[in-house]
Structure 1
Amino acid sequence: MKDWFKSGSPWIWLTAGAVAVSVLAVAGVMALTALRGLGHFWPKAVIETTYKERDGSTIGLIGEIREREEVSVRRLREAGFVIPGDDTFTDRVLIKMGNRDVSGVDFRWFPLPLLGEQTKPHDVITVERREWGNFYGHLVAVKQEGQLIASGEAAWAPLQERTARAQDLFKQIHKLEKQEIGKVNYELERLRLSERRLQLEDHLDDAAKASLAAKREALNKEFGALQEKTDALRKQLARDSFVARVADGREVEVPLAQVADVYRANTMGLFDKISHYAKKLGEFIWDDPREANTEGGIFPAIFGTVMMVLLMAVIVTPLGIMAGIYMREYAKQGTLIRIIRISVNNLAGVPSIVYGVFGLGFFVYFLGGNIDRLFFPEALPGPTFGSPGILWSALTLALLTLPVVIVATEEGLARVPRSVREGSLALGATKAETLWRTVLPIASPAMMTGLILAVARAAGEVAPLMLVGVVKLAPALPLDGFFPFLHLERKFMHLGFHIYDVGFQSPNVEAARPLVYATAMLLVVVIIGLNLTAIRMRNRLREKFKELDSV
């Protein structure tokens, strides 16, 4: 046994076991996240049952069973529930009842023994609304401008057709507001700023005023025409509605203008459910959020995360590489360089929120404020670059990840054999040519490793971004079709902040919980995608310069 310990085998097995446990833990976390998040989009059966209240009255229930857990019967009885039987424990279920505008609650826990027989009626519809969450009920009738079109089972086909029509009209209105009306508003704002600039420069003469007035009149006329078109579409959208009977027997009329989707989960077959799942997953990735970020999609957050990381990579890579090259190849190795290296290593351990405070003070208030005074005086007192935005977020995270790139670059340069340098110099190359044509290509895989680590950390950071650019809901993407196309001053959405906001700031926690898991899973996928791209580039460079590296 003593010889076995001396051989080092126990430590090898201990290390292997620790790695195996770590891999299993990561796989378990990923599996739980995927199951809780991606399972949210699968269409769930809608049950109808009754419930005996604590005062003895019986109410009807329609909804989806979301969770089930075991609870103490004594605890329920202490809370006033009358639980029959002598069992010590019983189950309770979390039912998503929807109809928040009717009943006032969306989710509620119910002790299972107090529920009546559970059925799954075929005529129950699940309605996803743009406001007030889901709606559940028995379809009674479909109306057009208040007139009955169809009722009973015959109303299902007209409801589907008119829902598709309403969704198409909604997309047309959304396109008009975001693109055409948005373009007119953008041009009006540019016209206002141009007038203000001429006024500050004392060039606002009568001719300039007449020219600006003519342009403004033309834009206002175009805006009025677009607004009339939008109002006409809204009038068409408000034409149809449906009537459904809810759990308590009341009949509620719902305008189709509020409906995002409608389906009968209890009549779906396997292929229908798969098709519905794919559709909802696609909407989650590509649509804009709604209902305080607890419904709809998260495309703006995906776009903002990727764009911010790419901007950060563009900024930090040349800065980190140049600093590493200078410290390794050109700087005189002495006390000063050792102090700088120690400082760089210590910067890697500074809490990220400190970088956020620095970014807010230096980039936003000092640098951005001066840029506004020098280049955008016509917009003042409204800030342009003097407020948090995606540029300042990228710069802040570039500072945060700069030590990683510097250290990786230095290590890569240190790995290049001295004989390679000497051989290049012996052939007549200058030091700069040797560095550019020989040393850097060999060290490039290590530099890419630093970039990979920087991307992995930056994509998941949230604390500094809360101070320098990220918001709950951004009205416009940083990249669009309006000049100058890339708007670095705009605020943006981020997947990490979206997780924090939905998980801890949502007014409807139960509805938001599955989206927290789904967004977390998507953030991991985005980080893996960015890292795989960088790893592929690194492997290509490594294979390209493999022979030279082995000299």
Structure 2
Amino acid sequence: MKTKEQNLKSWFKSGAPWVWMTGGGVAIAVIMTLGLLAVIATRGLAHFWPADVIESTYQVPGESPRVLAGELVQSEEVPRARLKAAGLPVDTEGGEFMTRQLLKVGNREVFGADFSWVVAEWLSGSHTPANLLVMERREWGNFYGYLVNVKQGGQLVAEGDGAWAELQQRLARIDELHGQITRLEKKDIGRINHGLEALRLKTRRLELEDRLDAAAQADLDAERAQWDAEYKVLEAQLIELNTAFNRDSVTVKTVDGRELEISLGKVVRAYQPNAMGTLDKLGFYFAKVWEFVSDDPREANTEGGIFPAIFGTVMMTLIMAVIVTPVGVLAAIYLREYAKQGALTRIIRIAVNNLAGVPSIVYGVFGLGFFVYVLGGSIDSLFFAEAAPAPTFGTPGLMWASLTLAILAVPVVIVATEEGLARVPRALREGSLALGATKAETLWKVVLPMASPAMMTGLILAVARAAGEVAPLMLVGVVKLAPALPLDGNYPYLHLDQKIMHLGFHIYDVGFQSPNVEAARPLVYATALLLVLVIALLNLSAVYIRNHLREKYKALDH
């Protein structure tokens, strides 16, 4: 009969402990990943829910009471001694802790800040009036208070019970006018500005080439007159739209009785969260989420959407993939199929593997020094001399950001492709050559198709690393705010010299450079979640293609 010690040794020899250990490691990794995503999603997506607005009387001992209204953002227990050290008139008698709450009170023009810490024990009479109004504005943050009346051109239109319906109708009109103004400014006037700039550069180029004669000048003047005539028509339309846009206003009253008049052109939406049902709040929630992913940012990136950052991230990653795939695959093919396998080849492979571990900021410095200043400056001097001294490609932009990420990711693609080429059976190569195919034909029609899943694996790893990089991009083309997209209807349509926004840099900017920290915090989580989803979507697309290729060429393995 075996002893316990013998049973334990037998159990260890069977390998079961290592199975449990590795399974436990996988379980811990999955739990940590899901937990991280859950925290990010909870804190980010909760920001868009229309929370109830509380109205309370706040009585600080020794001071006059004042009425506050706002959304409860955070609540925490703090020691009384800490509050007393902060200068608050806290009574030392009582429990050891008091409750401190962070309220989003808005009304920045009144209070000077959007958020205020209060002591919960000093609040009284808290209630949620159904007619308490929240107005989300294009600047100055939210307004919390009560609607008094609606005016058109300074004349009273509605007040009392009918003012709310009138306000909603006029906000729908304002939203439509805002869309028309945005399209006019970005599309039509942007097209004219682009044409005038191209005309200016054409004039300067003719001057440099000493070809600006009377006939050429006449042609340029005629073209400029045509652009000016189009602009005058659009300018008149824009003035008319802006006049209509700023026609209406509302009179509102804060909870402490102060009245303000606000132009409806500055208001995005108005709602009464305390009067909204669950379905109304769900509709509002999804509208806010859609605004977040489809609109431009405002209020120093702490309000509005992040569509330019999404577009910039995806566009830069796709251009990087187009660049890095052929370069990495060709390098791997040469090293594996054509290069003489010796000491030099081994050194090159070691160098490639070491490049994968170089800090990303080093690539950013290289991209700034070589791509931007050397290569971009040379391109400007050769092809864009008429734009001098303003740089065209001699400044950070989309092309240099994509190239820098391609250099950063190319070692990953080389290593993965080499491994895929090495796994192709030698018998297949010899069989193809025996049937009369050349080495190039064998490589193109037999080897590369079978190694294509490994190439896609390298591309997946490259995208996963490059899409989340921030440090190098800060030097070679990513900026805080660039609402104009690099892809538009103006020739050459894709503007590789233009600066872009990026989700990773947006997280850094909002989280660490924002003047309104409390307002920015939930957007950091929401943007981080969106960045994870964008990278996951890009990776899943590549995984689908890889699996399709693997199934397609599986028969060649047998």
Q: Among residues 365, 369, 375, which one is paired with 1:367 in the alignment?
A: 375
- 1:70 aligns to what? 77
Q: Is this contact kept in 1: 2:107–2:144, CA < 8 A?
A: yes
Partner SS for 2:87: coil
Spell out the pairing of 1:522-541 with structure 2 (5 A cutoff): 522-541=530-549
Partner SS for 1:355: helix
Q: Among residues 203, 221, 227, which one is paired with 1:219 in the alignment?
A: 227
Distance in 2 between residues matched to 1:411 and 1:538, nearest whole Å: 15
CA deviation string 1:158-181 (max 9, x = no partner)? 011111111111111111111111
Q: Is this contact kept in 2: 1:94–1:108, CA < 8 A?
A: yes
Deviation, 1:377, is 0.7
- 2:34 aligns to what? 27
Deviation, 1:7, is 2.6
- 1:18 aligns to what? 25
Deviation, 1:54, is 5.4
Deviation, 1:152, is 2.1
- 1:327 aligns to what? 335
Distance in 1 between residues matched to 2:441 and 2:197, nearest whole Å: 51
Q: Among residues 346, 350, 365, which one is paired with 2:358 in the alignment?
A: 350
Partner SS for 1:460: coil
- 2:196 aligns to what? 188
- 2:118 aligns to what? 110
Q: Among residues 497, 502, 507, which one is paired with 1:494 in the alignment?
A: 502
Deviation, 1:77, is 2.5
Distance in 1 between residues matched to 2:66 and 2:232, nearest whole Å: 51
Q: Is this contact kept in 2: 1:244–1:253, CA < 8 A?
A: yes
- 1:43 aligns to what? 50
Counterparts in 2 of 1:54 and 1:225: CA distance versus 1, 3 Å: farther
Deviation, 1:318, is 0.3
Q: Is this contact kept in 2: 1:367–1:386, CA < 8 A?
A: yes
Distance in 1 between residues matched to 2:363 and 2:391, nearest whole Å: 22
Deviation, 1:270, is 0.9
Distance in 1 between residues matched to 2:502 and 2:554, nearest whole Å: 39
Distance in 1 between residues matched to 2:90 and 2:304, nearest whole Å: 39
Q: Is this contact kept in 2: 1:54–1:80, CA < 8 A?
A: no
CA deviation string 1:296-327 (max 9, x = no partner)? 00000000000000000000000000000110
Spell out the pairing of 1:5-404 with structure 2 (5 A cutoff): 5-53=12-60, 55-83=62-90, 86-404=94-412
Any gaps of 5 or more consecutive residues in structure 2?
1-7
Distance in 1 between residues matched to 2:130 and 2:89, nearest whole Å: 32
Q: Is this contact kept in 2: 1:83–1:114, CA < 8 A?
A: no
Partner SS for 1:429: coil
Q: Is this contact kept in 2: 1:294–1:502, CA < 8 A?
A: yes
CA deviation string 1:139-162 (max 9, x = no partner)? 111111111111122210101111
Distance in 2 between residues matched to 1:156 and 1:482, nearest whole Å: 43
Q: Is this contact kept in 1: 2:308–2:483, CA < 8 A?
A: no
Distance in 1 between residues matched to 2:211 and 2:62, nearest whole Å: 78
Deviation, 1:5, is 2.1
Q: Is this contact kept in 1: 2:251–2:261, CA < 8 A?
A: yes
Structure 1 length normalisation: TM-score? Answer: 0.98
Distance in 2 between residues matched to 1:54 and 1:381, nearest whole Å: 64
**Amino acid across the alignment from 2:32:** A
Deviation, 1:475, is 4.1
- 2:490 aligns to what? 482
- 1:503 aligns to what? 511
Deviation, 1:239, is 1.0
Distance in 1 between residues matched to 2:87 and 2:322, nearest whole Å: 62
Distance in 1 between residues matched to 2:84 and 2:193, nearest whole Å: 61
Root-mean-square deviation (CA, aligned residues, Å) is: 1.0
Any gaps of 5 or more consecutive residues in structure 1?
none
Distance in 1 between residues matched to 2:81 and 2:365, nearest whole Å: 51
Q: Is this contact kept in 1: 2:333–2:418, CA < 8 A?
A: yes
Give aligned pairs, total: 550
Partner SS for 2:333: helix
Distance in 1 between residues matched to 2:453 and 2:61, nearest whole Å: 68
Distance in 2 between residues matched to 1:81 and 1:384, nearest whole Å: 57
Distance in 2 between residues matched to 1:365 and 1:301, nearest whole Å: 25
**Amino acid across the alignment from 2:112:** G
Deviation, 1:55, is 4.2
Counterparts in 2 of 1:373 and 1:77: CA distance versus 1, 3 Å: same
Distance in 2 between residues matched to 1:55 and 1:494, nearest whole Å: 50
> Which stretch has the larger CA shift, 213-222 or 360-369?
213-222
- 1:440 aligns to what? 448
**Amino acid across the alignment from 1:77:** K
Q: Is this contact kept in 2: 1:143–1:149, CA < 8 A?
A: yes
Partner SS for 1:18: helix
Partner SS for 1:292: coil
Distance in 2 between residues matched to 1:55 and 1:5, nearest whole Å: 72
Distance in 2 between residues matched to 1:78 and 1:444, nearest whole Å: 66
- 1:408 aligns to what? 416
**Amino acid across the alignment from 1:49:** S
Distance in 2 between residues matched to 1:313 and 1:480, nearest whole Å: 21
Q: Is this contact kept in 2: 1:288–1:299, CA < 8 A?
A: yes
**Amino acid across the alignment from 2:428:** V
Distance in 1 between residues matched to 2:96 and 2:153, nearest whole Å: 56
Q: Is this contact kept in 2: 1:142–1:241, CA < 8 A?
A: yes
Asked if residue 3 in structure 1 is aligned to residue 10 in structure 2, the reply is yes
Distance in 2 between residues matched to 1:50 and 1:167, nearest whole Å: 36
**Amino acid across the alignment from 2:13:** K
Q: Is this contact kept in 2: 1:128–1:135, CA < 8 A?
A: yes
**Amino acid across the alignment from 1:260:** V
Q: Is this contact kept in 1: 2:296–2:483, CA < 8 A?
A: no
> Which stretch has the larger CA shift, 518-527 or 245-254?
245-254
Distance in 1 between residues matched to 2:324 and 2:476, nearest whole Å: 17
Distance in 2 between residues matched to 1:70 and 1:27, nearest whole Å: 28
- 2:4 aligns to what? none
Counterparts in 2 of 1:54 and 1:320: CA distance versus 1, 3 Å: farther
> Which stretch has the larger CA shift, 78-87 or 496-505?
78-87
